[in-house]
Structure 1
Amino acid sequence: MRLDAAQRRALLVHPGGWIACGFGSGLSPWAPGTAGSAAALVPWLALRELDVPYYVLVVAIAFAIGAWASNVAIDRLRIADPGAVVCDEFVGQWIALLPLVLAPRGWPWVAVAFGLFRLFDVWKPWPVSWADRRIHGGVGVMLDDVIAGAYAALVLALALRAT
């Protein structure tokens, strides 16, 4: 569902709205989740340079901030899981990319991680689907993408190990 002008204004007048919509990437008229996942690659270029414990800490902090920002968006838009909210895609994508922080590889592997995360986020195998249906609010918005990111990271790690 695309947001109308009044909804965009309601979202963007609050800093939490900017964070929730991925600094505007979630306002894409086409595939906002994919746009958010792609936008997540930009800060990842810096994040990948962190030591793993710091990387995990940043992702955990981003989850907490994302849950708060998602609640702001839910409250302002009166929509349970607004499509424009893509801060969850940022966190899920960064989780999917974790194996490349542990064992850096080239850009083709980044594309694989991106594709795997999008696959699991859209497909929603259990427990992604369970979290999507049963956990509400900002934590619920974030949690299904965390699980999808974990699935993608696991498959990516297995693929990296096999090569």
Structure 2
Amino acid sequence: MSRRIGRAAWLLATAGGSGRSPLAPGTAGAAVGALLFWPLASAPAAAQMAAVTTVLALGAVAATRLAESLGEKDPRLVVVDEVAGMWVSLLGLAPRPAAFLLAFVAFRAMDVLKPWPARDLERLPGGLGIMADDVMAGVYANLLVRLALVVWPGA
């Protein structure tokens, strides 16, 4: 941890340290995001949006600080973007294990594939660019899950 950024920023940027996972830190961050969102899934939509907005704003600041302290544009250690993207993929979905699993798989696929405009958003500066592509991946994942739940309503 860089002392220059502070412990709180480091913990947020790395999603409690899950970004240190030696294998697939992005997947670890998304899993942490899904677990953290579970209690919010029953909350009203406005509360969910407020939580997502807060994580996006604070996460962008923390991601910028950690990236700058490491001298990297988008370090693997920073996974708050995966948490935020996962939360976007879960917005408004019922707290059902099948829906969460579908959202997790869809989000990871969209995050890896980065369909337009996600890849372009990644080029934005600092924490904004770190976060924006994952938010877009979350939007795509949310739409895919909603479509899947229309086709398979029991999932």
Mark yes or no: TM-score above 0.5. Answer: yes
Aligned match of 1:48: 41
* Matched residue SS, 1:126: coil
What is the RMSD of the two structures over their aligned residues, measured on CA atoms? 1.5
Q: 1:46 to 1:76 in 2, by over 3 A?
A: same
Q: TM-score, normalised by structure 2?
A: 0.92
CA distance in 1, matches of 2:51, 2:3: 28
State the one-letter code of the partner of 1:130. Answer: D
1:68/1:138 contact within 8 Å kept? yes
Aligned match of 2:103: 113
Structure in which a larger fraction of residues adopt helix: 1
**1:89-128 to 2 correspondence within 5 Å?**
89-100=82-93, 104=94, 106-128=96-118
1:138-159 Cα distance to aligned partner (Å, 9 max, x none) = 1110000000000000111111
1:107-139 Cα distance to aligned partner (Å, 9 max, x none) = 12211110000000011111011111x212011
**Deviating 4+ runs (over 6 angstroms):** none
Aligned match of 1:4: none
CA distance in 1, matches of 2:5, 2:33: 19
CA distance in 2, matches of 1:139, 1:113: 23
1:99/1:157 contact within 8 Å kept? no
1:44-73 Cα distance to aligned partner (Å, 9 max, x none) = 121112100110111011100000000110
Residues 1:83 and 2:73 are matched in the alignment? no
Residues 1:29 and 2:19 are matched in the alignment? no
2:42/2:95 contact within 8 Å kept? no
CA distance in 2, matches of 1:105, 1:91: 17
1:11/1:17 contact within 8 Å kept? no
* Matched residue SS, 1:23: coil
2:9 to 10, 16, 22: 16
Count of residues in Structure 1 that have an aligned counterpart in Structure 2? 152
State the one-letter code of the partner of 1:92. Answer: G
What is the aligned-residue identity percentage? 38
